[in-house]
Structure 1
Amino acid sequence: MNTTAPTADTPAWWTRAVVYQVYPRSFADSNGDGIGDLGGIRSKLDHLAELGVDVIWLSPIYRSPQADNGYDISDYEDIDPLFGTLAEFDQLLAEVHERGMKLVMDLVVNHTSDEHPWFVESRSSRDNPKRDWYIWRDPLDAHEPNGWTSAFSGPAWHLDTTTGQYYLHLFAAKQPDLNWQNPEVRAAVFAMMNRWLDRGVDGFRMDVINFIAKTEAELVGESVRPSMGAQIHEYLQEMHREVFAGRDAELITVGEMPGVTVEDAALFTGAERKELDMVFQFEHVGLDHSDTGKFDNLPFDLVALKTSLARWQTGLASSGWNSLYFGNHDQPRSVSRFGDDGRYRYESATLLATILHLHRGTPYIYQGDEIGMTNAGFTAIEQYKDIESVNHYSEAITAGADPATVLVQMAFRSRDNARTPVQWTPDPGAGFTSTEPWIEVNGNAAALNVQTDRAAGERSIFDFYRRLIALRHELPVVSLGEFALLEPEHPALYAFTRTHDDDRLLVVGNWSGERLRLPEGLTDDAGTRLIGNYPEWHEAVLEPWEVRVYTRAQGAGV
């Protein structure tokens, strides 16, 4: 892999890379305790190498009370015993590198656990040296300092009886927000990041990193939700100077940034600004949320999705870079959400993969998507483990909602849909574990699993992903080509071109379960079919969930 410093003639290595996200507790269990671990990840590295991915991103494996499955960190520099030890991590890192892949850690520094030593000191007294490492405020008229709400239900402020002040937690009460205005906090975080990079880690995915900059005027007042403070750019530029400068050509940095606009992202990812390589934006995965919240499901709207993704493609075409994803540990399974997870599971899973991977940006594969894993199908609240889902159910029922209705909403939307164990084999425990897993295995595991999919020949979703990844590695038009959306108002057709020098790709996909006649002339002069998910095809018609990629470049189709 070329990791020389990027220039106009030598694009950054990550422009042709594909990232695979591992949610460790649900990936593979090597010690029989029902929880995925580092040994389990090591045992599946050949699976990832054969898939062809370039980077493995690990969700948090640090020491944690696990109030939010590891996103509440009590020690940034040790591995939680649930997952293994630092020595096992070093072994994993070495084996990843031996296979020519890179490893990225999850960086969670908007907040810590309330059991982190920093917070234990901070809450001990108002004059403790670390008091200002977190955000403390006096009550306002005997109530919370402002009207901010937590992402996990309820107020974003918790009254600490030890000192009589509230601390801010934009997430769970056990996740107090760090005060990034304090230079000591920034220095401590940067030192920790440097130690991980010195250990050999290849970069960071930065959890809600835009939240580290709060607008000071809003911290006491009537505002309902925080907005991103202008100092975010200063913080990220300082992070680059103190952590990444001099070795950033070898690394990858991606910032998860809820609420950012295309214009924001162009600033964050402009190479000359020295902030981030790319951002995760949420616009396209929020289109089916209503104004009342994510659990109020709206019908899927392909035109809205195309419009959103095309705006980001255009907005970051000349400056900046896109990260491409449909699913991750916080989203429902993409084939259940956007496709057909029944009759046309293979076809819709491969269509989704093709549309995503043929856009301009760095694609992210969430574990299990490479075999078309589906939503969990839970029907009882006792099956859910996610703090967001459990809190939502309790709050909704208390407010008078019908329990059956709430469970239907959660069955589609809950984050637990993405967190059921990866289905490796048709055996009991799905090859994930030899004992009872921490969360139930999806009931379809006996038929839907890696072993079965990889034996499916031309209907193997894994093999289709492998071929898509190879195209990105081999063809500059896939990694660098200019994007142009076609037929923007068509309710079922997703069509676009990619152009680079003399090469051109045409992508046409039928995002529906009905046959679709292509607009006249669309595939005239299209060239050779490069890849598609039906073994036979009719030039003028797309079958249900059919996708094709045509090329004018030299070379055989696959």
Structure 2
Amino acid sequence: MRITDTSDLWWKNAVVYCLDVETFMDWNGDGTGDLDGLAHRLDYLAELGVTCIWLMPFYPTPDKDDGYDVSDFYGVDKRFGSLGDLVEVIRSARDRGMRVIADLVVNHTSEKHPWFVSARSSRTSPYRDFYVWRDTPPKSTPEPIFPDKENSVWNFDERTGQYYLHRFYRHQPDLNVANPRVREEIGKVIGFWLEMGMSGFRIDAVPFFIDDEGGADDDYGDGHVYLRELSDMAKRRRGDAVLLGEVNLPYKDQVKFFGGPQGDELTMQFDFESMQRIYLSLARSDARPLARMLAKRPDIALRSQWANFLRNHDELTLDKLSESERDEVFAAFGPEKRMQAFGRGIVRRLPPMLEGDPRRIRMAYSLLFSLPGTPVLFYGEEIGMGENLNAEGRHSVRTPMQWSSAKNGGFSTARRRSLPGPVTEGAYGPEFVNADEQVRDRDSLLHFMRLLISRYRTSPEIGWGELTIVKQPHASVLAHRVTGPLGSMIALHNFAAESLTLEIPVDGGDDDTRLIDLLHDGATAVTSRGTAELTLEPYGYRWLRVTNPGTRRIG
């Protein structure tokens, strides 16, 4: 491997930053974030170290589901600006070393999309079979995604006297991907945005998207064949395009969505399994649940990659935990009913869950950036934003970005009632948590995140290397090593409130080997037996670069 290979498969050591244009920065003062506001904050993102911006849906929408109910796949919602404004953002981001990817929401459309408006007007509509219709719902049907809002995935349409399928809300009818015409239209959408300069897509709800739930075409076959065709098309149109998939399934199933050893389907997938064990380990002050899950991570193709995250725009799902484990996490981080969603998730951000303890917060983000894979941040994480539980459900973590201590957190000069949602209040409000003050405070969380990103970007072994769980005697400590052709690093993270000293094996090391601390000053010697003794403070963390005589790496 050459160092220049990291630019060919750029996503393997990228830093992805997810944001919603609507809540990021309002530049024209109407109360809604806009593309001009985003353009004025690109330098902030570049200085943070972001290399890829993931835009949540910006398409025209009735906005019944925060933009995930799309009424036009080829446009920009007029609240945010124009298609020209978006292209300017993409161009300006590229000038600053950042790519842009878009949320691709093609499992369903809005009920206001022209396709569905036509489809429900008549059984003979040319768009009728763009969706899935039945005279009566099948006896065996999946559970709704939002059981608190929907009691069935089938909704009766009185105009034509049939039921249509909707896995999500009834105002989001599912597309019939078994129909070749639908697949052709989705291909056009992908091609259009790649031509506009997008570097790829985060694909929403992939398992539902490719599943043929009673589709109209018996020749559709295996949905993975279709996913492979989409991947091939994206690579033909733009060789470095990435497909980042939301696939909340066990590892063995996720391997199939990567395309197995060929790696010819999704480029990246979120690691929901490890994320949920991080929270179980935090709740128990015991690193072993996470260590066991990381050890189970399957091998994937060279071009494939795991996307690591602590929080995202949805509820913090705990569906992979057992009921008793989920109850432990609820008790620790979401004990009130208003903090929970659907009986399986938490609608809070990380800092309040950790009671604002800066040691635990920094340890958690150190862990995120040290795990093999690509880190994904949700806007505001870099400054330690909290949630606003006065906003309903998932919207509690989708509050306006806090830029300063000014009115509305510097997000907008409009009246508060014109904002897309309430600004966070209390200890995590903009008076105490904002980007402006942290930019000027070198001891702030923002500067710590900049350090983590810088060290991550200069340690390609994290994104490219192989993972080894390092054996040591302390249950509260996760010790792992990532080793690749360009180097090796050992990371230590203490999940407990007690300091400790531990001895770790350094395979291949001897008394000429040194462990260079990447987050603190200093180095640790390795013994002739190939071991090293280190101290970890309460909730302490260390990144240790393994070096030998003659190494030419710096820093």
For the aligned pair, the TM-score class normalised by the smaller chain equals 0.7 to 0.9
Alignment of 1:29-40 (within 5 A): 29-40=26-37
Counterparts in 2 of 1:87 and 1:499: CA distance versus 1, 3 Å: same
Matched residue SS, 1:62 = coil
Aligned to 1:324: 308
Shift of 1:45: 0.4
Shift of 1:357: 1.5
Counterparts in 2 of 1:82 and 1:310: CA distance versus 1, 3 Å: farther
1:528 to 515, 521, 527: 515
Matched residue SS, 2:305 = coil
List per-residue Cα deviations over 1:166-196 (Å, max 9, x = no partner): 1111111111100000000000110121111
Contact 2:502 2:533 in 1 (8 A): no
Aligned to 1:515: 498
1:551 has 2:530 as partner: no
Contact 1:157 1:169 in 2 (8 A): yes
List per-residue Cα deviations over 1:1-43 (Å, max 9, x = no partner): x999x7xx98612212111111222211112232222112111
Alignment of 1:389-404 (within 5 A): 389=393
1:429 has 2:408 as partner: yes
Aligned to 2:444: 460
Runs of 5+ consecutive residues of structure 1 not aligned to the other structure: 220-228, 291-296, 390-414
Deviates further, 484-493 or 157-166: 484-493
TM norm structure 2: 0.81
Shift of 1:333: 5.0
Counterparts in 2 of 1:64 and 1:334: CA distance versus 1, 3 Å: same
Aligned to 1:335: 350
Matched residue SS, 2:291 = helix
Aligned to 1:498: 482
Shift of 1:521: 4.2
**Given residue 420 of structure 2, which amino acid in structure 1 is its aligned partner?**
W
Aligned to 2:241: 251
Counterparts in 2 of 1:284 and 1:478: CA distance versus 1, 3 Å: closer
Contact 2:191 2:237 in 1 (8 A): no
Matched residue SS, 2:360 = helix
Alignment of 1:346-357 (within 5 A): 347-357=359-369
Deviates further, 175-184 or 22-31: 22-31
Runs of 5+ consecutive residues of structure 2 not aligned to the other structure: 317-346, 525-531
Contact 1:137 1:145 in 2 (8 A): no
Shift of 1:535: 10
**Given residue 33 of structure 1, which amino acid in structure 2 is its aligned partner?**
D
TM norm structure 1: 0.81
List per-residue Cα deviations over 1:384-412 (Å, max 9, x = no partner): 24xxx3xxxxxxxxxxxxxxxxxxxxxxx
Contact 1:21 1:57 in 2 (8 A): yes
Q: Find the aligned partners of 1:189 and 1:218 in 2 and give their Cα distance.
A: 16
Alignment of 1:76-475 (within 5 A): 76-140=73-137, 146-153=140-147, 154-214=151-211, 216=213, 231-241=222-232, 243-265=233-255, 268-270=258-260, 272-286=262-276, 302-312=287-297, 314-316=298-300, 320-330=304-314, 331=316, 332=347, 335-336=350-351, 340-342=354-356, 344-345=357-358, 347-376=359-388, 378=389, 383-385=390-392, 389=393, 415-435=394-414, 436=416, 437-443=419-425, 444=428, 445-457=430-442, 459-475=443-459
1:485 to 466, 469, 474: 469
Aligned to 1:396: none
Contact 2:263 2:303 in 1 (8 A): no
Aligned to 1:225: none
Shift of 1:62: 0.0
**Given residue 257 of structure 1, which amino acid in structure 2 is its aligned partner?**
V
Contact 1:20 1:57 in 2 (8 A): yes
Counterparts in 2 of 1:310 and 1:30: CA distance versus 1, 3 Å: farther
Q: Find the aligned partners of 2:486 and 2:62 in 1 and give their Cα distance.
A: 55
Contact 1:149 1:155 in 2 (8 A): yes
Q: Percent identity?
A: 32
**Given residue 310 of structure 1, which amino acid in structure 2 is its aligned partner?**
A
Counterparts in 2 of 1:165 and 1:356: CA distance versus 1, 3 Å: same
Matched residue SS, 1:370 = helix
Q: Find the aligned partners of 2:243 and 2:448 in 1 and give their Cα distance.
A: 27
**Given residue 384 of structure 1, which amino acid in structure 2 is its aligned partner?**
A
Counterparts in 2 of 1:299 and 1:89: CA distance versus 1, 3 Å: same
Matched residue SS, 1:56 = strand
Give the aligned length: 496
Q: Find the aligned partners of 2:22 and 2:381 in 1 and give their Cα distance.
A: 17
Contact 1:3 1:250 in 2 (8 A): no
Contact 1:351 1:533 in 2 (8 A): no
**Given residue 484 of structure 2, which amino acid in structure 1 is its aligned partner?**
H
Aligned to 2:66: 69
Counterparts in 2 of 1:482 and 1:465: CA distance versus 1, 3 Å: same
Q: Find the aligned partners of 2:420 and 2:174 in 1 and give their Cα distance.
A: 28
Contact 2:260 2:301 in 1 (8 A): no
Shift of 1:503: 2.9
Matched residue SS, 2:171 = coil
Shift of 1:488: 8.3
Superposed CA RMSD in Å reads 3.3
Aligned to 1:53: 50
Matched residue SS, 1:275 = coil
List per-residue Cα deviations over 1:523-552 (Å, max 9, x = no partner): 897833433379999964322222111112
**Given residue 432 of structure 1, which amino acid in structure 2 is its aligned partner?**
F
Q: Find the aligned partners of 2:215 and 2:75 in 1 and give their Cα distance.
A: 35
Contact 1:65 1:72 in 2 (8 A): yes
